[in-house]
Amino acid sequence: VRILCCVKRVPITGGKMVLTDDAQAIQTRHLGFTISPHEECGVEEAVRIVEAQGGEVVALTLGPAEAEEQLRECMALGADRSIHLVSDEEWDAQATAGAIVDAIRSEDPFDLIVFGNESADAGNFQVGIRVAYALGLPVVTGLKGLTVTEGRARCEQELANGRDVWDVPLPAVVTVKEGLNLPRYPSVPAKLRANRKPVDAKPVQLAQPQLEKLRLVVPEGQGKQAEVLGHGPDAAPAIVEVMQKLGVA
């Protein structure tokens, strides 16, 4: 089984959003970076499938030179090699899908192309679906369950009231959610191996965005003044009083 996992480098935002002076990005000077939790589960699932059935897992990202760090994370989880589409720009969903489609077409065909259901930062909910249409492949989103057998995938899609089940012929595109599995912690030898695995880096030119980001805004409500009910267990009567006032006691 040949599986492509698409991931995105995003900052670990911690407790408070602070923007750059031009309001075009989050101030990341003091932040670490990661891939979205959804995507981490996507890589873990792909690696498990290939460990059981044989094949290859390829990680792909579109991002700055530093995003190689995230590709190494994917390879420490077990991906075999990586494709790095290098650009410092922030891309909209349509342009991102276009660049990924071009990269996929220059590779041998994949059986399964895995995305996160939505990126942690932009949350556009659409790149995987656009890639599927461009390649003429079926697509199922929001998976919390995936079973690949004999050229088909049984996909369980999470909804508020349960799960919808889909039976999809491969090749296909799927987007997954955190909770699909519990990703492993990469071992030290796995991290060392990841440093020796190949990364195919190629620059890509940003297309004109159709959904153009103008500026970012921090919403109100960060900086509420909480009423202190007390310290330690002595606060219990005041807490119960609040519960009674809210009608939940």
Partner 1 sequence: MTVVVFFEAGDDLSLQALTLAQSLGEEMRVVQVDGPYAPSAWAKALIDAAGGGDIVGPGSDRGNEVLAHVAAQLDLPFAANVTDVRGDEVTRIRWGGTLLEEARIHAQVRLLTAAPFAFAPSAAPASVETLQPELGDALRVVEHVTPDTGGRVSLADAKVVVSGGRGVGSAEGFAILEELAALLDGAVGCSRVVTSAGWRPHADQVGQTGTKVSPDLYIACGISGATQHIAGCKGAKTLLAINDDPEATIFAHADYAVIGNLHEIVPAITAELRKARGA
Backbone angles phi, psi at 89, to 5 degrees: -75, 160
Among residues 8, 9, 84, 177, the one that binds partner 1 under rule CB under 8 A: 177
CB of 58 to partner 1, least distance (A): 23
CB of 39 to partner 1, least distance (A): 10
Specify the residue, 192 or 235, whose C-beta has the smaller distance to partner 1: 235
Bridge partners of 157, per DSSP, are 143, 164
Please check whether residue 116 is in contact with residue 39, taking contact to mean a CB–CB distance below 8 angstroms: yes
CB under 8 A: which stretch of 10-18, 46-54, 100-108, 193-201 binds partner 1?
10-18
Specify the residue, 31 or 86, whose C-beta has the smaller distance to partner 1: 31
Would you count residue 15 as binding partner 1 (CB under 8 A)? Answer: yes
CB under 8 A: which stretch of 51-59, 65-73, 137-145, 196-204 binds partner 1?
137-145
Would you count residue 65 as binding partner 1 (CB under 8 A)? Answer: no
| CA separation for the pair 195, 71 (Å, rounded) | 10
CB of 128 to partner 1, least distance (A): 9
CB under 8 A: which stretch of 56-64, 74-82, 195-203, 205-213 binds partner 1?
205-213
Would you count residue 178 as binding partner 1 (CB under 8 A)? Answer: yes
Please check whether residue 171 is in contact with residue 54, taking contact to mean a CB–CB distance below 8 angstroms: no
| CA separation for the pair 79, 60 (Å, rounded) | 10
Would you count residue 164 as binding partner 1 (CB under 8 A)? Answer: yes
| CA separation for the pair 198, 93 (Å, rounded) | 27
Specify the residue, 109 or 179, whose C-beta has the smaller distance to partner 1: 179
Buried b (16+ CB within 10 A) or exposed e, 126-139: bbbbbbbebbebeb
Which residues, numbered 85-124, are part of the site for partner 1 (CB under 8 A)?
92-94, 118, 120-124
CA distances (Å), origin 232, targets 65, 85, 130, 224: 49, 53, 53, 22
